[in-house]
Amino acid sequence: AKDYELRQYETAKWASTVIRGETQKEAMRQGFWKLFHYIQGKNEKEMKIDMTVPVTCLIKSGCTDFKISFFMPFEHQDSPPQPTDSDVFIEERKAAAIFVRSFGGFASPEKYAEEAEVLARILRNIGQPFHEEFFYTAGYDSPFKLFNRHNEVWYFKK
């Protein structure tokens, strides 16, 4: 469809942290830095890990906990170094079919919410079941990239 795509993601490991009781923007900032320190060597092997994309944020309706995650590079999928910060953990996300809506520009929490609502409306209109109680935001660009930015919202297919 022109407004979204359906992707099949394989099982994969992500470095994650949960930030509680902050705004989404502040949670993203805090979570990003916790995870960035992890890939810069704040782990049991004191290993530097390449930055990957996307950076995701789990948004649950009516919840002020935000889970921010970095995709683990393929060479670390089998045995990622354990974090030394107790707020950072390695999670394995199971394979899933995910509805994705892409958009450009600098993504604010409001813009992500707006795009998620557009995607949800499209899926409801075509009678496509999906998990409405949560969605992920996915950012692909450094804050220093000014043009041709790529952002996504993800809903999991039921």
Q: DSSP letter for 75, please.
A: G
Q: Which tens digits make up the pLDDT trace of 19-39?
A: 998 999 999 999 999 999 999
Edge to edge, the sheet with strand 151-156 lists 5-9, 96-103, 151-156, 134-139, 55-60, 65-71, 12-20, 88-93
Tens digit of each residue's pLDDT (9 = 90 or more) over 118-150: 999 999 999 999 999 999 999 999 888 999 999
* Cis peptide upstream of residue 54 (ω within 30 degrees of 0): yes
Domains in the chain: how many in total?
A: 1
CATH code, 61: 3.20.80.10
Alpha carbon distance 135, 120 (integer Å): 10
Residue 157 structure tokens: 């297919």
Residues spanned by the domain of 10: 5-156
pLDDT single digits (tens) 53-96: 999 999 998 899 999 999 999 999 999 999 999 999 999 999 99
The single residue listed with the structure tokens 């109680």 is 133
3-class DSSP state for residue 116? helix
